[in-house]
Amino acid sequence: MARYVRLAVLLAIVVSAMSRPGLAQAPSAAPNSPAPAAAAGPFYALVFFETAAGSHGKTVKVLRGYAAATSKADGNLAVLPLQEIGRPARFALVEVWRDKATADAHAAAMGAFRGDLLPVLTAPFDMRANGGLDVAEGPVAAGTGAERAVYVLTHVDVFPAGKDQTIDMLKQLAAASRKEAGNLRFDVLQQDGRLNHLPLIEAWRDLPAQNAHALADHTRAFRGKLVSLQGALYDERLYRSLR
């Protein structure tokens, strides 16, 4: 009986404590909750999608129309429609906005674009929101006459414990890569809410320039160090611009 009395008293104390203002009723902040990477500066939206075989002509037409309209939208800084080299059914969009608010204001247009492609989509849109971590100045797309330019979108995913080390490595890689003769752009992003996901946006003069980069000492050294930190396979995709 004494045991049950003690339990009843303990339960009463717990209930009393939970009922006091400012104690158990106040939600506690999540430990190590990530800060929004895209909150303070330009907002980078990366969109990936795939379409059915035989529908590439329609997809390219719709994608180009959407990109042309988006480039005139308030707050848009750049829009780059891409088609994967060697896999013409796979497409990507790079959108750069003044801030997240202007990107959110464009959501209806993005929804209409997705609706136009819905009959030929083989998978839902994969949309990733990012902030700029180490971004070069200048336009995202290569200038006029750069039809041979190769764009590379890479998703670097590492274990959280290796995030800071990977960021330092990526900044070193970006600095070295920008000095290569064939480089047009090399940007390091950070995914909003997943700070250990670090996308790369690269542009190279042509395919030989990109191949030379892959064999460069600084690239191979980076890839060698990254292996032990990776949480997923190194996802690198090569594209041509549809502009």
CATH code at 177? 3.30.70.100
Domain count, the chain: 1
* pLDDT at residue 22, as a whole number: 34
Rounded Cα distance, 214 and 189, in Å: 20
Instruction: Specify if 99 maps to a domain.
Output: yes
Question: 201 — phi, psi (to 5°)?
Answer: -120, 120
Across residues 27-41, what is the average pLDDT?
44
Whether residue 7 lies inside any domain: the answer is: no
Flag whether pLDDT at 4 surpasses 70. Answer: no
Quickly list DSSP for 91-115: EEEEEEESSHHHHHHTHHHHHHHHH
In a domain, 197, yes or no: yes
- Kindly state whether residue 5 falls inside one of the protein's structural domains: no
- pLDDT, tens only, 153-163: 999 999 999 99
* Residue 132, domain extent: 43-241
Q: What is the pLDDT of residues 169-190, one digit of tens each?
A: 999 999 999 999 999 999 999 9
> How does residue 137 score in pLDDT terms, banded at 50, 70 and 90?
confident
Q: Does 32 fall in a domain?
A: no
Answer yes or no: is 1 within a domain.
Answer: no
Q: What is the mean pLDDT of residues 2-26?
A: 34
Q: Is residue 72 domain-resident?
A: yes
Residue 12: pLDDT band (50, 70, 90) is very low
What residue spans of the chain are helical by DSSP H?
2-19, 56-70, 100-105, 107-117, 163-177, 207-215, 217-226
Q: Does 13 map to a domain?
A: no
Over range 127-131, report the average pLDDT.
97
Closest CA to 94 of 59, 103, 85, 39: 103
Q: What is the pLDDT of residue 203?
A: 97
- pTM for this predicted structure: 0.82
Q: First vs last Cα of the chain: how many Å apart?
A: 82
Q: b/e for 73-92, b at 16 or more Cβ within 10 A?
A: eebbeebbbbbbbeeebbbb
